[in-house]
Each structure stands twice: as C-alpha cells, then as structure tokens.
Amino acid sequence: MDKTVECILRRRMHGLYLTRPCEDIVQLSRELLGLHSWFYRNVAFSAVLRGARLTGWTTALTKTWLYRGTLHGIDFHELPLLLSLHADAAYPWLMDPSRLPDMAAKVLALMEDGVFSRAEMRRIFAFDLDPQTLQRVFSPWGGIFVYLARQGKVAFRDMKSRDFDLVDAEPRYTFDEALPILLERYFTAYGPATLADAALFFGLNREKRQKLLALNLDAYARLEYQGNTYYYREDTEPQGDIPALTLLSGFDPLVVSYADRSAILPPEYRQAVILKSGICQPSIAVDGRIAGIWNLKKRTPVVEFFTPQPHAIQQSARNLVEGMRWRTTGWI
C-alpha cells in the first residue's frame, strides 16, 4: 500500500474509533456527527464494532434527517447545531411552497392531538389532497416530516419506531456560524480529508461550497496527495496500526463520508458494496482495504469474500460476525 494512503487510512481509522474503543454510544455519535441510520440496525453494528455498549441505545439516540437528507442516530442535544446547516432548505418537490407552511401547521396540530403515525396522517388528508400530492407529502421516504424534522420540530419516536414525536430542537445558529464549528469537528474525526469530502459529508450545494472554500484553514495540519490537500487535527494519542481484519457496518462512516473512497474501497468492488439502490452493505476490510461483505440474515452470520482468502482470515471473519450476532441479540 502506498505510504501516504496508509497514513491517511491509519489516521482515519483512529479518528473513527476503528483502532480504539468508544464505550459510550452517545459520545460516539456526537464525535462522529451522527451514525448513519438508513436501516436502524446499522447504528447497532457501527457502535458494536467500535466498542460501544448497546444498553438503552434505541432511546439514548434520536433518529432524524441530517445533512444530505439521510437518517442518522444522534445526540438530541446536538440537533440545534447540526440542523443549522440546512435550516434554509427549500422543498419545491413536496408541494406548492405557498401552501407548505399551512400544511406543516396542520400536521403539527394533529400531532399535538395525539396523531403520530404517517399512515394515519395519510387517511386523514386523503380527501383534502390529490393522490400525487398525498403521496409526496406522506411519502415513505419522509415527505413533510423531512421538512419538519430539519426545522427541529419532529423526530422519530425512537431508533426503531416508524412513528414521530414533537420535539423542541430548532436551529440556533446561522449557516455561517455553524459551518466552521462543524468543519473542525469533521476534520478532527474524519481527517485527513479534503474540502470536497467535507462538502459531500455535509451535503453542501454549490453556493454553500463557496463559503467552505472561503474559510481560514491555517489551523489544520495537512498533507498533499495526487494534487489534493488533506486536512486533519493533530492527535497526541498514539495511533494504532491498520488491523489485519476490520468489520465495517452498512453505511459505515469510513466508507460513505468521503467523495473519493478509493483509499478503503477498491474500484472493482464498488458495485458489490454500494448497490444501484444506494444501499451500502456491511463490509470486511483486509489490511485496510475492503475485500468482502458480511451480514446477519435471520440472525445467521453470512461472510462472502470477493477473492480467495487464507483460512485464518476466513475463520477470523466468521468469528467476528458471530460475535456481532451475540452482541446485538435482542436489539436486531
């Protein structure tokens, strides 16, 4: 492996708690700026393989939409800051913008009266909205609840639930105030990373990327590789070596948080790990490079390498996945 790539991977794996433990899942989520939760069990996977305990995790974290419109499990107290990056987002695809505030107010009023189910909302509004608008507003992908969640007014009831609760977590920062704070935290946990990586992670559009480029970056350490500048925070804690074998969760931060994933994901395996649907599968890294996938299907461990591996590697992978099954029993 190229020495610079090895340095990048070693620092990233250290920052993302893949070569050191973080026992507290709330602390882990806070330091990683949320844990990706397209499927809630990936939060459990990600936490366990980083050494966190799962006791009470489904209510310790809050599930809501962040950044690129993706679901994350986060520390509730972080919401006013994390939501500030996209508090001004528009939703023209949802419905006529002039009607959106009134529609949102009606949904919030129903929640105040005890209606928390999307399906029940659909039934209530079935005669008020045309079928196309009804489908958009109460889409399984979020619909109006994305809008309300990113205003800090609703969130999922818990990590497993499909119902919503009212919350009080409205954004308290302007975009210009929040960006440098979150960028420092991103480079601390995810660095070395480029500005393009940060823009992808935070879901910044072209206009907001220009503000990212205008920030003073002199406080960060940096390294150059293939014409790109990588920024990070120096850490006095000793960094571990890249493990011979590493399990990664579905939508693992090490995989999905960078514009250029070639350091961890060989191009020839990309389609096997990131499906056409956008789903990122749980994967197995050998010496820091993804070499296979794993999962728990009906709680049965499944391990599949893309190329033949030594028996010891195969057995170690099966043991790790079996351990994951026991660590997550009762949670998945």
List, for residues 203-226, the tens digit of each pLDDT value. 999 999 999 999 999 999 999 999
**Same domain flag for 60 and 196:** yes
Q: How far apart are CA 296 and CA 283, in angstroms?
A: 12
Residue 65, both tokens: 């939409």
Asked whether residue 302 is assigned to any structural domain, the reply reads yes
The CB-side HSE value for 143 (13 A sphere, CA atoms) comes to 19
Please give the average pLDDT of every successive group of 10 residues along the chain, which has 332 residues: 93 97 97 95 95 95 94 97 93 90 96 96 94 94 95 96 96 97 98 98 95 95 96 87 96 97 96 94 97 92 95 95 83 54
**Same domain flag for 263 and 320:** yes
Residues making up the chain, counted from first to last: 332
pLDDT for the residue 227:
95
Beta-carbon neighbour count of residue 71 at 10 Å?
Answer: 24
Which one, of 300, 304, 274, 330, lies nearest residue 38 by Cα? 274
- Sheet architecture: strand order including 62-66: 35-36, 70-74, 62-66
**Same domain flag for 132 and 273:** no
**Same domain flag for 212 and 256:** no
pTM (predicted TM-score)? 0.94
DSSP string for residues in 195-248 = HHHHHHHHT--HHHHHHHHTS--TTSEEEEETTEEEEE----SPPPPPPSEEEE
**Same domain flag for 143 and 13:** no
pLDDT for the residue 267:
95
Asked whether residue 157 is assigned to any structural domain, the reply reads no
**Same domain flag for 263 and 290:** yes
Residue 109, both tokens: 């009023």
**Same domain flag for 192 and 303:** no
The CB-side HSE value for 10 (13 A sphere, CA atoms) comes to 15
Asked whether residue 158 is assigned to any structural domain, the reply reads no
**Same domain flag for 194 and 68:** yes
DSSP class of residue 327 equals H
Q: How many domains does the chain have?
A: 3
The answer to whether 249 and 46 are in contact (CB under 8 A) is: yes
Asked whether residue 71 is assigned to any structural domain, the reply reads yes
Asked whether residue 102 is assigned to any structural domain, the reply reads yes
The answer to whether 37 and 73 are in contact (CB under 8 A) is: yes
Which one, of 289, 33, 52, 327, lies nearest residue 185 by Cα? 33
pLDDT for the residue 330:
61
Asked whether residue 276 is assigned to any structural domain, the reply reads yes
What lies within 8 Å, CB to CB, of 17 at 6+ separation is 28, 31, 32, 50, 51
Rg of the chain over Cα atoms, rounded to whole angstroms, equals 21
Asked whether residue 272 is assigned to any structural domain, the reply reads yes
pLDDT for the residue 331:
57
Asked whether residue 191 is assigned to any structural domain, the reply reads yes
3-state DSSP helix/strand/coil percent for the chain, to nearest 5?
40, 15, 40
Phi, psi of 61 (to 5 degrees): -105, 155
**Same domain flag for 187 and 225:** yes
**Same domain flag for 228 and 249:** no
**Same domain flag for 129 and 267:** no
The domain in which residue 270 lies consists of: 245-327
**Same domain flag for 180 and 70:** yes
